[in-house]
Amino acid sequence: MRLEDIPDGKKVFIDSNIFTYLLVEDSRYIKSVNSFLKRIEQGKIIGFFNLTVFDETFFNFIKAKVIGMYGAKREGFNDLYKRNPDILSEISPEPVLKIFQIDNLNLITLIRLSLVTKFSRKYSLLPADAINLAVMKTHNLINLASNDSDFERIDWINLYKPSKKE
C-alpha cells in the first residue's frame, strides 16, 4: 500500500527512510513523503517515532551532507569523518530538529526489550528494525510508514510505502 492510502484518523509509526527522503530531497519520493508529513502536521494522521528512528535519520542526514560537501563516496564516509571529526560542526542540525518537531508527531520511549530479540530472530530483522517493531507492538501500533521491504515479512502490520515520482 502507498502512504497516500493511509486513512485519516490512523496512528502510524514512521521509519527513518521516510524522514531521510525529505531531508536529502530524494527526487524519487519527496512528493509522496512531503504530502504524508503534511497530513500529520494537519492532524489527519497521528505519527510516532522513537530514538532509533531519530538516530538513523540524523546519521543519514549528516552522511549525505558530508558526502555532498566533500565529494566523498558513501563507503568513504567513515574514514573521512575519523580523519576530520570537525566536519560535523559544519552541518546544521536544524533541518532534522524541525522535521521531528512537527505537530502530531510523537516520540515514543517505552519499549519491551524482550520483544526486540524475539522479533529479530522470528522475522530475521536487524536490531534497528526489530526495535521499531517492538515499539509498535508495545504501543499497539499496526500501521507503518516505511520503504524497507524487510517489513513485508511481518503479517500483523499494515506497511505503507512512499510512491515513486512518475
- Domains of the chain listed by start with CATH number: 3-61+102-160 (3.40.50.1010)
Task: Classify the C-alpha dihedral 74-20-62-124 as positive or negative.
Answer: negative
Pairwise CA distance, residues 124 & 120, whole Å: 5
Q: What is the chain's pLDDT, residue by residue, as a tens digit (166 residues)?
A: 999 999 999 999 999 999 999 999 999 999 999 999 999 999 999 999 999 999 999 999 999 999 888 887 777 788 888 888 999 999 999 999 999 999 999 999 999 999 999 999 999 999 999 999 999 999 999 999 999 999 999 999 999 999 997 6
Q: What is the pLDDT of residue 137?
A: 97
- Provide the β-strand partners of residue 105: 47
Angstrom distances, CA of residue 106 to CA of 72, 122, 138: 34, 28, 15
